[in-house]
Amino acid sequence: MSSQGPPLNPTVYDAETKIFSSELVKQFPPPTAKTVWSLLMGDAEGDEEHVVFIDTEDGTEWKLGQLRVLAERLGAGLTRDAQIPAGSVVMLLLPNSIHFIVALLAAQYAGLTVALANPAYTTHELSHCLRLTKPVRIFSVSKLLGLATRSGATWSQCIVMDTHVGYGTIFWRECLKSAEEAGEAKPREVDPSSVAYLPFSSGTTGLPKAVCISHANIAAMCHIISITPGAYDRGVRSIGFLPFFHAMALLLMIHMPIYRRGTIYIMASFNPARFLHIARNAGCTDLSLVPPIFTMLVTNADIPRDSLKSVRTIRCGAAPLDSAMQVAFAEKFGIEDIRQGWGMTETTVGCLGLAAGSTPGTVGNILPFVQARIVDPESGKDVERGESGELWVKGPNIMQGYHANPQATTQAFSDGWLRTGDVVFANERGEFTIIDRIKELIKYKGWQVAPAELEGLLLSHPKVVQAGVIGIYDRKQGTELPRAYIKVQNSSNEPEELVQELQAFVARKASAQKQLRGGIRIVDAVPVSPSGKVLRKLLRAMVQKEEAAEKDAMGASKL
């Protein structure tokens, strides 16, 4: 798995401007601005019989032609009967299903903007998203209507995709026009620069922001992925278990398989046994995973080596994958082609990686037609080659801004460059390594300590299943101290012995300023987002509870 020869997507570094770019721009034309409907369905003729999605619940196969006709019929109904004006916002509050894809495509046919909500939102989070985006209709399923209405939606707003409910809701089949009527209609023409999607940022530091992703952003991202060597070949067979509302799945599990005529097995949620059954028996060629799934597959001794025998390529995104875990996965399953990428919702899906041959632990090279700089976040000046700093990016896949939040948009950009908030450095091959988020760096006596580095180190210990690291402030020393929260494998060790073992392990592997002076706490589970990012704000809330309990105990002892 170590890199051999030059990268397939070589990086060009301009020493004068200190800008990183891809050499592939010399070989391919730039992206063409198109609407999502035109991009995905404009050349569907001739491929109508291609099976693009398979429902793993009931085995139903969905051919491209069937999908197009159904989306046209629903889209025509939204346009004519519901009379929803072009550019209006509709929200998808749906689990992974063919219904999600049909509703999404119908909305694009009708020239609507699609807000993508997480079905696991609390009422507090969803009510915020509803107030922010003001959708005229909400596509959902019966089991989520309670969440929607408790969060402020009305029954009449809701289009139900699975069954008749009543109470003023609309059953989606009531919106369908006949095939003949839909055939007479045409997709609404909208400007490719208009907003196609409003996915929500992860909200790890506050309530979610709605990210404005245009039709042109989507078209550019699909083009960029397609011309990156081996990033997404035609005919890919994969499993769609990552949540479709997430930017990574939105592109790789919905748009790219239609665009590149792949086939996706849809899973409503991740089920290890079903996932492995499909991977083994369906001839899957590629898998898009997140770090928690890597960990589960590697650490579960009951999963045999040949479980992924047909898989050629593994993609990892959404959160950093430790290089030791990457190597362990390759050794267990015999899959050498494991690629990390980097992106964020604000970049449509990615800016770095995806090509084969990257060094383990890196997120690869800059993608074609994207530019990058590494900037000192305090001075705003570009750092010297090999030094670390904040990653700034620019390209046709970068968001327009945050919906109804001009202040956040202004703060996110500097002279047209998106300030990502991630600290990175680039090696001599032009491959980038993510160090951590600027706001999450621990300041220990003037040193900057990256939580992600310590988490990766802890995860390389055979007894650690999950790890989350934060800084806790020590008033006596006047500094932050790194503290780890870990979930462990079944262990015969006493907790105190295991903590001592892990402290000694870190002491051997990490420099002095990175020692876990704030301690190690063993917990039942480390809080993570669906994509595997450690939710440090929840770890900090745990610290606050611990400190409050200690104060209460001290107060009681004085009585």
Instruction: Give the model confidence (pLDDT) of 50-59 as tens digits.
Output: 999 999 999 9
Does the domain at 64-191 match CATH 3.40.640.10? Answer given as no
Provide DSSP, 487-543.
EE-S-SS-HHHHHHHHHHHHHHHS-GGGS-TT-EEE-S---B-TT--B-HHHHHHHH
Mean pLDDT of 402-426: 96
CATH superfamily for 442-554 is ANL, C-terminal domain (3.30.300.30)
Q: Give the integer Cα–Cα distance in Å for 469 and 269.
A: 28
Predicted pLDDT of residue 206: 60
Coil vs helix vs strand at 337 = strand
Query: With bands split at pLDDT 50, 70 and 90, how would you rate the model's confidence at 225?
Result: very high
Structure confidence at residue 281 (pLDDT): 93
pLDDT at 208: 85
293 near 271, Cβ under 8 Å? no
C-alpha torsion angle, residues 218, 222, 224, 226 (rounded to 10): 180
Average of per-residue pLDDT across 298-305? 90
pLDDT band per the 50, 70, 90 thresholds, residue 546: confident
Domain ranges of the chain: 11-32+212-437, 64-191, 442-554
Q: Is the pLDDT confidence value at 505 over 90?
A: yes
**Which two structure tokens, joined as six digits, stand for 293?**
């799934």
Q: Can you say how many angstroms the Cα of residue 226 is from the centroid of all Cα atoms in its chain?
A: 19
What is the per-residue pLDDT for 555? 67
pLDDT of amino acid 204: 47
Instruction: Read off the pLDDT band of 492 (50, 70, 90).
Output: low
Q: Which CATH superfamily is domain 11-32+212-437 in?
A: ANL, N-terminal domain (3.40.50.12780)
Domain 64-191 and domain 442-554, same fold? Reply is no
Exposure class string for 104-136: b at 16+ Cβ within 10 A, else e = bbbbbbbbbbbbbbbbebeeebbbbbbebbebe
pLDDT confidence tier of residue 474, bands split at 50, 70 and 90: confident
The average pLDDT across 216-220 equals: 99
- With a pLDDT cut of 90, the percent of the chain lying above it is 72
Per-residue model confidence (pLDDT) at position 3: 45
pLDDT one-digit tens code per residue, 10-28:
899 999 999 999 999 999 9
pTM of the predicted structure, to 2 decimals: 0.85
422: left (phi over 0), alpha (psi -120 to 50) or beta: beta
CA distance 311 to 330: 12
CA distance 40 to 29: 19
Mean residue pLDDT of the chain comes to: 91
User: Region 418-439: what's the mean pLDDT?
Assistant: 91
Specify the higher pLDDT residue, 36 or 362: 36
Q: Are 401 and 372 in contact (CB under 8 A)?
A: no
Confidence of residue 178 (pLDDT cuts 50, 70, 90): confident
511 versus 416: which is more confidently predicted? Answer: 416
